[in-house]
Amino acid sequence: MDLVSNRVMLKSLSLEGLMQISKQNKFIYEGIDLTSLVLTDIQRRAINIKIGKMKKAKRELHDWYTYWLIINKDSLDTMGLIGFKGIDNKGEAEIGYGISKQYEGQGYMTEAVKILIEWAFKSRLCKTLTATGVLKTNYGSQNVLLKKWI
């Protein structure tokens, strides 16, 4: 599934795509070159956790468990990842995200978060979104969360 705004496209990763990313990030995924995507060891561990959860979840819920690629719509550069940590039966989901250093401070993450929040609340499943994993020293992420979303 793809979500699009003015400058950003989000592309949800299938279980198979996520498994491929967990092993390597130097490949093409659905026509998008992932060679610019830089994954840390922490992100790789998070991807492996997501893979485990996706294997147990119904396929129609995979978009709530996977990462979505954050892609620059003009250049098609992969700038980062965004996603939820699943959705519970009360309709609660937690959002998480990260963007490569060279794209920080340019509003791309704000745009990506906005697109995904809009998608989430259009779903009949989502009632509440949270973001509890932001570090106290990550002022950029805090600023994104301080925006008025709805």
**Domain membership flag for residue 111:** yes
**Domain membership flag for residue 26:** yes
**Domain membership flag for residue 73:** yes
- At 1 the pLDDT is 78
What is the pLDDT confidence band of residue 90, given thresholds at 50, 70 and 90?
very high
**Is residue 150 predicted with pLDDT exceeding 60?**
no
Tokens of 121: 């609340």
- At 57 the pLDDT is 94
Tokens of 111: 């745009």
**Domain membership flag for residue 53:** yes
**Domain membership flag for residue 149:** no
Cα angle at 10 between 136 and 78, to 5 degrees?
A: 80
Which carries the bigger pLDDT value, residue 40 or residue 13? 13
> For residue 109, which amino acid is it?
M
**Domain membership flag for residue 126:** yes
pTM for this model (two decimals): 0.87
CA distances from 100 to 93, 103, 117, 118, 130 (A): 24, 6, 21, 23, 22
Q: How many domains does the chain have?
A: 1
Domain that holds residue 24: 2-144
- At 33 the pLDDT is 78
- At 37 the pLDDT is 75
Q: Supply the CATH number for residue 94's domain.
A: 3.40.630.30
**Is residue 42 predicted with pLDDT exceeding 90?**
no
**Is residue 149 predicted with pLDDT exceeding 60?**
no
